[in-house]
C-alpha cells in the first residue's frame, strides 16, 4: 500500500490560492517577438532589471527564457521555458514556447498545461501559417486567446484591416481593448477603449527599461496628437458599431479574442497586457481525467508531466520534469504515487523555475508549474497523485516525417551515447526507433521537423560528450502496425519496421503511394495512421 502525504492547507486556502493563478502560454509564428514579449512582461512585473533581445543587440543582455547555446546563436526559441512571478495580487505562470514548426510537439505539450494563451501577430505580416494552426489548436482545446498585435512601431498593415483578417480567417470576433494612436511605424500610444483615455508612451534607450507612460484625458490627447487622435477615435467608434466590445463570457467560450496593440521591443503596451491577463484570463478550472470526469481543483493533489528537460544546469547535469498542478496543494517532500507504475514518488527536490534560474519551492497550488529535479522515473504525460488514483489523458505524439540513423563517432563513449539518446527520447526531442538489424549502436531518430536533428547533434556533443553522425533515411511516413502484421509489412519493398522505446511498432514508408499500394493489396494488415503534426 502506497503512503501518501495529504495536503495540510485547508480547503478555502486551496480555492483562494488557485483563484490567484494565471497560467498562460505565449505563442506565435516564428519571429513575431515571443521571447522579447516574455522578457518585457517580466520587466514590467519588476522581477528583472532590464530586458534584452536574444542576440544581445545594442548592449542588451540575452533573454531569460532563451538559455540554450543554439537559441542564443540563432535568435529563435528551440525549447519552451517557464517563468513564475507575482504581479498585483496574482501569481503568474508564463510559458514561452518555440515558434518554429519543427518544434510543434513542444508547443502542443505546453498548451495542454495552460488556461489561456497570448497570441502574437506581426503588424506587418498579419496571420501567418503557424498563427492559423495555433489558433486552431487553441480552439480545439478550448483555450481562450488574447491577441497582441506586436511591432506596431514598425511599418505594417492598417489596424482595421488586421481586425478584418482575424475575424475572417479565425472565426473569432476581435474585441480591441486598446487602439493605436498613430499608424504602424508611428506608434505614439493607445486609446483605451474601456474609458476613452490616452496612454502616451515615451521611448527608452534600446527599450531595455520600462517605457514611461502618461495617461491623458481625451481633450488633452486631441490637443497633443491632433489628427492621429481624431483618427483613432473615429476608428474606435467604427468598432463600437460592429459590437466589437469585450464580453467575458464569450471570451471564455472561445468566441472572441481581446486585442491590444504593442511593441514588445520598446516595452509599449506591455503593462496593459499584464493587467488584462490578471483581470480577464481564467484561473484554473476542473480538469478532465482520462475517463472524462472533471477533477475539482480542491480535490487531493494531482499533477501531470508536460515537459522533461536536461542540461539546464551545466554544473550538475541534472534532469528536470515540469509538472502542472491540476488539483490540491503540493508540499515539497510529500510522497505521491506515480500513476504509470503505481510506485511511490518522493518530491524532495522541487523548484520554481524562472528561465534557467531556479529556487526551492515549499508549497504550490493548482495552476502552478513546478520543476522536479532528477526525476528520472518521470516521462512526458505521466500523472502524479495523492490519495485516490487519477490518471490524466496521455499527451499526443505526432507522426514523424523525417528519419535518420544516429551513430556515435567515438566507440569508447558508447555509454555516454546510450545515455544521451535515452535522454533525448524521454524529453520528446525525438522518437527513438530500434531494430535487431540495425543494432543498439545505430538507432533511428524520428522527428517532426529537420531542425530537431540539429538540436540532437548539438546536445549529444555538448551536453553528453558523445559526438554523433547523422545519416538521413528516405522515409517520409510512419504508421502503426502490430506483431502479427510486422513480418509481412517488413517484407514489402522499400518498407522498414522498427520498435519505439515504448514498445510501439512503426512501419516506415518512402511515400504515401507505397503505403496505399500495400494497404490495397493486403487489407488484412494493421497499418494505422498516427496523429499528424497540427502546428
pLDDT in tens, 17-39: 999 999 999 998 888 888 888 88
Do 126 and 169 fall into the same domain?
Answer: yes
First-residue to last-residue Cα distance in the chain:
42
**Residue 65 is assigned to a structural domain of this protein:** yes
Cα–Cα distances in Å, from 336 out to 295, 320, 330, 384, 386? 17, 17, 10, 6, 5
Torsion, Cα 469 471 475 477, to 10 degrees, reads 10
pLDDT over threshold 80, residue 50? no
**Residue 10 is assigned to a structural domain of this protein:** no
Give the per-residue pLDDT at 68. Answer: 47
Mean pLDDT of 388-413: 91
Do 376 and 512 fall into the same domain?
Answer: no
Do 249 and 375 fall into the same domain?
Answer: no
Is the CB of residue 213 less than 8 Å from the CB of residue 271? yes
Is the CB of residue 64 less than 8 Å from the CB of residue 42? yes
Query: Higher-confidence residue: 463 or 177?
Result: 177
Q: Report which DSSP code applies to 394.
A: P
Least confident range from 196-205, 315-324, 363-372: namely 315-324
In whole angstroms, what is the distance from residue 378 CA to residue 308 CA? 8
Q: Hey, which bits of 293-443 come out as E strands?
A: 294-295, 302-310, 319-327, 330-331, 335-338, 343-346, 350-354, 357-360, 363-364, 369-373, 383-385, 402-408, 431-434
Average pLDDT, the chain: 87
For 105, what's the count of Cα atoms within 13 Å in the CB-facing half-sphere?
A: 26
Do 152 and 252 fall into the same domain?
Answer: yes
pLDDT band with cut points at 50, 70 and 90 for residue 53: very low
Mean pLDDT of 64-87: 59
In whole angstroms, what is the distance from residue 75 CA to residue 69 CA? 10
Do 151 and 264 fall into the same domain?
Answer: yes
pLDDT over threshold 70, residue 67? no
Is the CB of residue 188 less than 8 Å from the CB of residue 203? no
Report the DSSP pairing between strands 294-295 and 357-360. unpaired
Do 157 and 233 fall into the same domain?
Answer: yes
Give the per-residue pLDDT at 71. Answer: 47
Query: Higher-confidence residue: 360 or 285?
Result: 285
Report the DSSP pairing between strands 444-447 and 431-434. antiparallel
Mean pLDDT of 268-287: 95
Give the per-residue pLDDT at 101. Answer: 61
Give the per-residue pLDDT at 364. Answer: 95
pLDDT over threshold 90, residue 331? yes
Least confident range from 172-176, 252-256, 371-375, 442-446: namely 371-375
Do 249 and 295 fall into the same domain?
Answer: no
Q: Which residues are within 8 A (CB) of 163 and not within 5 positions of it... i.e. 6 or more apart? A: 174, 176, 239, 244, 259
Q: What is the pLDDT of residues 285-315, one digit of tens each?
A: 999 999 999 999 999 999 999 988 875 555 5
pLDDT over threshold 80, residue 104? no
SS3 242: coil
Give the per-residue pLDDT at 91. Answer: 94
Quick one: what percent of the chain has pLDDT higher than 70? 87
pLDDT over threshold 60, residue 1? no
In whole angstroms, what is the distance from residue 177 CA to residue 264 CA? 17
Give the per-residue pLDDT at 107. Answer: 82
pLDDT band with cut points at 50, 70 and 90 for residue 137: confident
Supply 533's cell numbers: 503534426
Report the DSSP pairing between strands 343-346 and 335-338. antiparallel
Give the per-residue pLDDT at 78. Answer: 46
Q: Give me the residues paired with residue 264 across strands.
A: none
Give the end of a domain, one of 350, 385, 420.
385
Do 305 and 275 fall into the same domain?
Answer: no
Do 370 and 444 fall into the same domain?
Answer: no
Nearest Cα to 64, choosing from 41, 30, 86? 41
Least confident range from 204-213, 266-275, 297-306, 336-345: namely 204-213
Q: What is the pLDDT of residues 492-516, one digit of tens each?
A: 999 999 999 889 999 999 999 999 9
Q: Is 17 exposed, middle or buried (0-12, 13-18, 19+ CB in 10 A)?
A: buried
Q: Which residues constitute the domain of residue 459?
A: 402-529
Nearest Cα to 469, choosing from 530, 532, 407, 389? 407
In whole angstroms, what is the distance from residue 152 CA to residue 234 CA? 19
pLDDT over threshold 80, residue 531? no
Looking at the structure of the chain, the number of domains it has is: 3
Query: Higher-confidence residue: 45 or 528?
Result: 528
In whole angstroms, what is the distance from residue 211 CA to residue 203 CA? 6
Is the CB of residue 280 less than 8 Å from the CB of residue 248? yes
Binding residues: 96-100
pLDDT band with cut points at 50, 70 and 90 for residue 320: confident
Q: What is the CATH number of the domain that holds 37?
A: 3.40.50.300
Which stretch, 204-213, 224-233, 523-532, has highest mean pLDDT? 224-233
Binding residues for GTP: 96-100
Mean pLDDT of 62-79: 47
Do 75 and 209 fall into the same domain?
Answer: yes
**Residue 88 is assigned to a structural domain of this protein:** no
Query: Higher-confidence residue: 70 or 453?
Result: 453
**Residue 86 is assigned to a structural domain of this protein:** no
3-state secondary structure 290-324: CCCCEECCCCCCEEEEEEEEECCCCCCCCEEEEEE
pLDDT band with cut points at 50, 70 and 90 for residue 206: low
Concatenated DSSP letters of 179-236: EEES-TT---EEEETTT--EEEE---GGG-SPPPEEEE-HHHHHHHHTHHHHHHHHHH
Amino acid at each position: 500500500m502506497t503512503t501518501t502525504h495529504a495536503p495540510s492547507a485547508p480547503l478555502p486556502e486551496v480555492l483562494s490560492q488557485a483563484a490567484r493563478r494565471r497560467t498562460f502560454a505565449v505563442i506565435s509564428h516564428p519571429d513575431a517577438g515571443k521571447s522579447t514579449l516574455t522578457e518585457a512582461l517580466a520587466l514590467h512585473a519588476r522581477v528583472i532589471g532590464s530586458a534584452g533581445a536574444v542576440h544581445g543587440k545594442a548592449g542588451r543582455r540575452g533573454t531569460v527564457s532563451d538559455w540554450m547555446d543554439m537559441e542564443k546563436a540563432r535568435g529563435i526559441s528551440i525549447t519552451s521555458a517557464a517563468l513564475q512571478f507575482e504581479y498585483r495580487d496574482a501569481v503568474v505562470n508564463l510559458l514561452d514556447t518555440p515558434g518554429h514548426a519543427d518544434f510543434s510537439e513542444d508547443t502542443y505539450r505546453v498548451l495542454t498545461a495552460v488556461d489561456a494563451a497570448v497570441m502574437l501577430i506581426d503588424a506587418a505580416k498579419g496571420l501567418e501559417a503557424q498563427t492559423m494552426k495555433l489558433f486552431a489548436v487553441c480552439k480545439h482545446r478550448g483555450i481562450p486567446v488574447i491577441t497582441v498585435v506586436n511591432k506596431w512601431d514598425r511599418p505594417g498593415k492598417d489596424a482595421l484591416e488586421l481586425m478584418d483578417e482575424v475575424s475572417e480567417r479565425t472565426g473569432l470576433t476581435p474585441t480591441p481593448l486598446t487602439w493605436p494612436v498613430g499608424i504602424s511605424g508611428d506608434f505614439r500610444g493607445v486609446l483605451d477603449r474601456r474609458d476613452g483615455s490616452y496612454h502616451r508612451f515615451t521611448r527608452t534607450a534600446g527599450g531595455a527599461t520600462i517605457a514611461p507612460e502618461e495617461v491623458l484625458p481625451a481633450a488633452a490627447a486631441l490637443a497633443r496628437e491632433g489628427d492621429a487622435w481624431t483618427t483613432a477615435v473615429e476608428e474606435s467608434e467604427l468598432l463600437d458599431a460592429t459590437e466589437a466590445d469585450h464580453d467575458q463570457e464569450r471570451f471564455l467560450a472561445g468566441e472572441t479574442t481581446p486585442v491590444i496593440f504593442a511593441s514588445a521591443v520598446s516595452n509599449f503596451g506591455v503593462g496593459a497586457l499584464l493587467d488584462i491577463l490578471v483581470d480577464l484570463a481564467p484561473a484554473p478550472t476542473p480538469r478532465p481525467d482520462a475517463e472524462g470526469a472533471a477533477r475539482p481543483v480542491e480535490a487531493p493533489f494531482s499533477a501531470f508531466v508536460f515537459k522533461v528537460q536536461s542540461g539546464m544546469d551545466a554544473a550538475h547535469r541534472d534532469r528536470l520534469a515540469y509538472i502542472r498542478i491540476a488539483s490540491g496543494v503540493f508540499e515539497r517532500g510529500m510522497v505521491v504515487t506515480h500513476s504509470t507504475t503505481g510506485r511511490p514518488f518522493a518530491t524532495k527536490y522541487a523548484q520554481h523555475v524562472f528561465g534557467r534560474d531556479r529556487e526551492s519551492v515549499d508549497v504550490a497550488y493548482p495552476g502552478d508549474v513546478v520543476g522536479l529535479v532528477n526525476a528520472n522515473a518521470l516521462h512526458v504525460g505521466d500523472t502524479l497523485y495523492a490519495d485516490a488514483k487519477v490518471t490524466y489523458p496521455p499527451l499526443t505524439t505526432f507522426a514523424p516525417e523525417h528519419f535518420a540513423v544516429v551513430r556515435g563517432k567515438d566507440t569508447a563513449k558508447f555509454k555516454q551515447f546510450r545515455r544521451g539518446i535515452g535522454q533525448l527520447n524521454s524529453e520528446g526531442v525525438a522518437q527513438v526507433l530500434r531494430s535487431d538489424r540495425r543494432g543498439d549502436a545505430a538507432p533511428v531518430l524520428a522527428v517532426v521537423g529537420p531542425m530537431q536533428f540539429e538540436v540532437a547533434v548539438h546536445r549529444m556533443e555538448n551536453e553528453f560528450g558523445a559526438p554523433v553522425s547523422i545519416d538521413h533515411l528516405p522515409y517520409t511516413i510512419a504508421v502503426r502496425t502490430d506483431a502479427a502484421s510486422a513480418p509481412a509489412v517488413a517484407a514489402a519493398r522499400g518498407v522498414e519496421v522498427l520498435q519505439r522505446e515504448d514498445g510501439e511498432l512503426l512501419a516506415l514508408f518512402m511515400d504515401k503511394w507505397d503505403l496505399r499500394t500495400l494497404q490495397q493489396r493486403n487489407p488484412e494488415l494493421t497499418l494505422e495512421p498516427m496523429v499528424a503534426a497540427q502546428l
